[in-house]
Structures are given as structure tokens and as C-alpha cells.
Amino acid sequence: MAQAVKKQAMGRGLSALLKDPENDIKSVTDKNADKVVGNIIELEIESIEINPFQPRTNFNEESLQELATSIRELGVIQPITVRKMDFNKYQLISGERRLRASKIVGLKTVPAYIRLADDNESLTMALVENIQRHDLDPIEIALSYQRLIDEIQLTQEQMSDRVGKKRSTVANYLRLLKLDPIIQTGIRDGFISMGHGRAIINVESHDVQTDIYQKIVSQNLSVRETEALVKNYQEGAKPKAASATRATSSFEVDDMEVQSINDYFGAKIDVKIAGNGKGKISIPFQSEEDFNRIIKLIKG
């Protein structure tokens, strides 16, 4: 208990330091920066603005109230993280639930780690921490992955290293964003699982996707039953000319297998088979870096 009181007193002391205009710390080379960066400091809640890069938009009200009750009884156990914007002005990087719950309780200050980071670092930290939460739905995770790709210019391989997930896992989440928006909403609301979504994504037509989605919900279909339904549709949708070609070929290519190769290489491959069973596989690449990435995957 004595140690906790000492840390709290230190945090308040550093808070007073930050309110001194003569100690306005803007970079790690400024005087007293070493006393601030990496330390827990009690910040006034009114001096903290919400991170505009926050990828999370839904907050469960019941869960928020439970956290508020815990904070009322025990205080904020895990500090939030902010970045310094201006004199006594900070922007939230991570910990919005803790900040919201602290406001509900009526706290005036909250323990915080202060970082000096540019917008890209701020966004990256917010997205990576957000992805690592356990209560996010698959679409929220997929959107966070996509933002890392679009706004931080990360490849899927770089992103998998950054978030500590297999590249195939990252690819599976990203593919969910190809689903019709109605189905994405269904996943977010828990009407269907990510497994259902992964099965539906193999159908290109959004109209057919939504038809299958309605059957899943109305008939309470399992993932395996959904996969069978999708396979039946795909076989029924193939033109007769394709059937004649398959008859003269020594084998046929399974669509699911091709999709798994697409996921592995992170590119849409092209498979062509002649009537004698011979053929070729083409793998497109977008840059020298992308080419080297594919070569690395081929070599294993």
C-alpha cells in the first residue's frame, strides 16, 4: 500500500511539473523529458481529447457501467496512454473505455502514460492495441487491419509481425470486408459467425450472398451446412461449357483450393488448364518488394 501511495504522489508531482509553462516538454531532448516519458502521471480528464484515429466505434453500455463500478471501488488499475499535443493538452492513444468509465464515476484526474509521437505512430499504437483486445467483433478487427494497410502503408506480412498474428489469419479477417454490408452487420451483431462469413465470401454476387445469409439466419445453419450450401450453388452456377471442358481434362480445380492459394500469397492467382491436363499458375505482384515477398513464400 505504501508503494502505491508513493507512486500516486509521484504522479501528482509530475503533473504539477507539466503545468509549469517553463517546463513545456515537446520532445525527448527537452529538459525534464526523462521524468515524464514512460512514467505514470495524474492528468486532468478535461485536458485529454479523444483520439480522432480511434478505430473502435461501439462501446457496450453494460460493460462500461461494470468498469465504472470497478473504478469507483478500486480506482483506475491500468493507466491510459496519451500523446502531448500542446501545453497541458493531450490526445488519447489508448484506453478510451477507461477514460469514459472514469468520467461516469466523476473522476477529475486519471493515471496516464505520456508519449511524444507523430500521427502515424499514434494511429499505429491505437490500432494495434485495439486489435489485441478480446471483445472486438471480427469486422472491427478487419477494419483495423485495413486501416493499417491504407494509412500506415503496411504489407500484410509486416502487419502480421506488428500485431503478432499469422499472415493467413490477417488475410482471413480482411476478406470479410468483401462481404455485402448487410452480412458484415450480421457478423457484428452476432447473427452469424466469422466462419459463416468465410464460407459466404466464396460467392462473388452480393445478391446471392444475402440470399444465403437469409437462409443461414432463418434455418439456423451451421458453418459446415453453409459451406455445403455455397458449394451446391457454385456447382449449379457453372456454365455447361465449363462441364464440357472438364470432361476432356485430366482433373478439375477446386475453387476453395484456389482461394486458399490466393490467401497464402496475398494475390489473386490465375490458373489455366488445357484439355490434356497441362496448365500454368500465374502469380501477379505489385512491386519489387511484393515480388521478393512472394519468392520468400515459395522458398518456404
CB atoms inside a 10 Å sphere around CB 296: 10
Q: What is the pLDDT of residue 37?
A: 66
Q: What is the pLDDT of residue 82?
A: 86
How remote is the C-alpha of 280 from its chain's centroid? 35
Q: What is the pLDDT of residue 19?
A: 64
Q: What is the pLDDT of residue 227?
A: 93
Q: What is the pLDDT of residue 18?
A: 67
Q: What is the pLDDT of residue 101?
A: 93
Q: What is the pLDDT of residue 28?
A: 61
Q: Which CATH code of 3.20.20.210, 3.90.1530.10, 3.40.50.1950, 3.30.428.10 fits the domain covering 2-130?
A: 3.90.1530.10
Q: What is the pLDDT of residue 248?
A: 46
Instruction: Report, as residue numbers or ranges, the catalytic residues.
Output: 96
Q: Could you give the maximum distance between any two Cα atoms of the chain, in Å?
A: 83
- Cα–Cα distance measured from residue 213 to residue 194, given in angstroms and rounded to the nearest whole number: 12
Give the residue among 110, 112, 154 at the shortest CA–CA distance from 131.
Answer: 154
Give the residue among 16, 144, 133 at the shortest CA–CA distance from 78.
Answer: 133
Fill in the amino acid letter for 62: E
Q: What is the pLDDT of residue 10?
A: 44
Angle, nearest 10°, between helix axes 167-175 and 255-265? 120
Strand segments, DSSP code E, in the chain are: 40-44, 48-49, 80-86, 89-94, 109-115, 270-273, 279-282
3-state secondary structure 125-184: HHHHHHHCCCCCCHHHHHHHHHHHHHHCCCCHHHHHHHHCCCHHHHHHHHHHHHCCHHHH
Three-class DSSP category at 251: coil
Q: What is the pLDDT of residue 35?
A: 66
Q: What is the mean pLDDT of each run of 10 residues along the chain (300 residues)?
A: 42 60 64 68 90 66 87 86 83 87 94 74 71 78 82 79 85 92 90 94 90 92 93 73 44 69 77 72 80 77
Q: In angstroms, what CA-CA distances link 42 with 108, 125, 143, 169? A: 10, 21, 32, 38
Q: Where are the domains of the chain?
A: 2-130, 240-299
Q: Which residue has the cell 469507483?
A: 72
